[in-house]
Structure 1
Amino acid sequence: MTYDPIGRMLITPEDREGPERARRLRGLGLGARPEPAFDALAGRLARLAGTPYAAVNFLGEEGQFFAGLYTPAGPNAVRGLARSLGFCPHVVARRKALVLEDVRDFPRFAANRLVDEAGIRSYLGAPVTDRGGMVLGTVCAGDTEPRRWGRAGLDMVKSLAAEVTADLHRREDGLP
């Protein structure tokens, strides 16, 4: 974790795998342009979860890129974020799913600018991994209201993350 000058914990976890993850993403041709299949998956997640936001997100060294995105702003929404914004960097650092029913209940997450700027109140995300087990990104959903995701929500996001992981494995094998 990093700290600000007055000693409060900031929201961005340390990322020692960032350079290697960026190389892996470049090698797979990911993290620099929208992917229609991932846009479709994000739209499916938003419909299933009943949320205004959903994404397939890949983390590079300096930032995040939404290769798949569903937002109220539509397909022309901004697809990049700094690593210091959002909750996906925590999924990558934890290497496991993250469920936040009300982000304001956690000081680390309540201070995130997306809470104020986009009105995000709840988050659900699961990791996407390459064949070697490196976490390359997330499949995630966000809502503007606190909500109980429950086991069904967690299972759903993990299932969709498994679909993206399977796609990455096909790419690693040179398959379409």
Structure 2
Amino acid sequence: MPRAVGRLLVTPVDGDAPVRSRRLRVLGLGERDDASFDDFDAFADRVAEVTDVPFSMVNFIDGNRQFYAGLHTPAGTRRGADLGATAAGSGRSGRYVALDHGYCPHVVVRRKALVLDDVCDYPRFAGNPVVDDIGIRSYLGAPLIDRTGIALGAVCAVDTVPRPWGRAGLDTIKSLARELVGHLRSREENALGL
């Protein structure tokens, strides 16, 4: 359900959430049970290195929450708590966060990259909890649209200072998203024995 703050819509309406949730379950994504997600952490590290940011994520989104499958934090701890995430059940790492936390749900619903040089320049995004809670000031994200046409989540880079991402930043995050979608396809084909 979208959350309104004043007259601004904080969480976008997501009509594709049920289909996305089913697809994530089929792919075995959206839950972190084992070391099979280490490659997503490595990918998040690469995103942070390429974009020179303190935080980056590979984020899968179902109808109820976001899951940081890949996470890069400044301290290198990969702790979701650094970004306000919590654990979900015993043995689960703290990588779950509410839908109104951050900008990836907007990327998924829009099915387009989102470039925010300074989130405070956009009233719709300035009131997001990540601004006050974590100090996020800039965001660069692109959707992960799989072979079935479903936007499963987003890959993103965020910084605590405004960043002029420009066309180069947009091209970079879109290229990284395409690369990761290729990895997801290979992962699915390997699981099916294709």
TM-score interval (norm. to shorter): over 0.9
State the partner residue of 1:29: 28
Amino acid at match of 1:71: T
**In the aligned structure 2, how far is the partner of 1:2 from the partner of 1:55?**
23
State the partner residue of 2:84: none
How far the C-alpha of 1:168 sits from its partner, in A, is 1.8
**In the aligned structure 2, how far is the partner of 1:151 from the partner of 1:23?**
34
Normalised TM-score (structure 2): 0.85
Q: 1:51 to 1:9 in 2, by over 3 A?
A: same
The correspondence for 2:157, drawn from 137, 141, 145, is 141
1:107 aligns with 2:110: no
How far the C-alpha of 1:3 sits from its partner, in A, is 5.5
State the partner residue of 2:59: 57
**In the aligned structure 2, how far is the partner of 1:90 from the partner of 1:3?**
13
Secondary structure of the corresponding residue to residue 53 of structure 2:
coil
Matched-pair contact (CA < 8 Å) for 1:128–1:161: yes
State the partner residue of 2:80: 77
The correspondence for 2:103, drawn from 87, 93, 114, is 87
Amino acid at match of 1:149: W
**In the aligned structure 2, how far is the partner of 1:101 from the partner of 1:113?**
17
Normalised TM-score (structure 1): 0.93
1:120 aligns with 2:136: yes
**In the aligned structure 2, how far is the partner of 1:114 from the partner of 1:36?**
25
State the partner residue of 2:14: 15
Amino acid at match of 2:48: A
How far the C-alpha of 1:45 sits from its partner, in A, is 0.9
Matched-pair contact (CA < 8 Å) for 2:68–2:80: no
* Aligned-pair identity (%): 55
Matched-pair contact (CA < 8 Å) for 1:2–1:9: no
**In the aligned structure 2, how far is the partner of 1:11 from the partner of 1:175?**
42
**In the aligned structure 2, how far is the partner of 1:7 from the partner of 1:142?**
26
Amino acid at match of 2:14: D
Secondary structure of the corresponding residue to residue 142 of structure 2:
strand
Secondary structure of the corresponding residue to residue 141 of structure 1:
strand
Matched-pair contact (CA < 8 Å) for 2:143–2:151: yes
